[in-house]
Amino acid sequence: MHLRQIESIRGYDKQKFKSEFLRTGVPVIIKDFIQEDSAALHTWDYDHFRQVAGDSMVSVHNEEDAHLDKVSSPPVKKMKFSTYLDLIEKEPTAMRLFLFNLLLEKPVMQKDLHVKRLADRLITWLPFLFFGGAGSSVRYHYDIDMSHVFLSQFRGVKRVWLFANDQSELLYRLPYNFHGIVDLRHPDYDKFPGLRYLQGWSCDLQHGDTLFIPSGYWHYIQYVTDGYSVSYRALPRTMKERWLGFRNIVITRRIDNTLRILFGKKYFDWKVRAAYQRADKAVRKIQRREAAVFGMGDLQRD
């Protein structure tokens, strides 16, 4: 696995950002996506959340890798938001809270958060909050609606690995799914040799950083410390991206659900075999390309 560091930018307007990153599909850390006049940068700590929404009931999830045959892990319990905050603040835990629509539940908080409109079709009225305990992680996946994502870190440190969609076979993606079967935190290169050829990006998000995740990018997220982030989405830019998002949601997911119901474990076992076969095919293709390049080099030296 080869990971390069994601660069940081500041002071970009919409046109410059669109030209250098949105159109090219290159990830980047934006230092000023959250505007400096946002009260959220200074006041949104756990005590503030306890005061504003501590009695809200939330569904908490555990590690997703235990449910590789499912799109996402089912919630393991419901609890008060304040109780969950106490848990992640006290000790490391795998418990996570994601897609929390707090700003719709408590619309008064929307005035605390102002962002730069660096993309057309940026949905500013529907941000989602993601919380996790130290040591927890999010199964690597890409978002099926093919939106661009702006992930802003507000507390703690979050380690993010990104992979372009053309790396899907090397990530052992399951057919009709949008996740794979590898434990990326502890990669087994003998069991999954395709990982040796995997190319991606890496960063540690700090307070105030916003990571631009282009449409279709795989992301694997680890909570280095407890913390939370806010996610904004920009709808797909091209007709191809919009069609893929529609197909993923309306067609592919329904096919997968139907086959899972009809065939159960046999269907999952077939998907695992197919993931290995596709990865092996991708590795052979890379090896042939490398051999051809080396061969050309030998000819030039002769």
pLDDT score of 290: 86
pTM: 0.92
Beta strand 227-234 with 199-205: parallel, antiparallel or unpaired? unpaired
234 in any annotated domain: yes
249 in any annotated domain: no
Q: Cα(137)–Cα(158) distance, rounded to whole angstroms?
A: 9
Residues of the chain falling short of pLDDT 70: 64-67, 71-72, 295-302
Domain hosting 157: range is 2-243
For 131-144, write each residue's pLDDT tens digit. 999 999 999 999 99
301 in any annotated domain: no
CA-based R_g, the chain, Å: 21
28 in any annotated domain: yes
24 in any annotated domain: yes
Q: How many domains does the chain have?
A: 1
The DSSP code sequence of 165-178 is GGGTGGGTBPTTSS
Residue 261 CB neighbour total at 10 angstroms: 9
34 in any annotated domain: yes
The one-character DSSP state at 112 is G
pLDDT score of 299: 47
Identify the CATH number of the domain in which residue 114 sits.
2.60.120.650
114 in any annotated domain: yes
pLDDT score of 126: 84
The DSSP code sequence of 24-41 is TT--EEETTSB-TT-THH
302 in any annotated domain: no
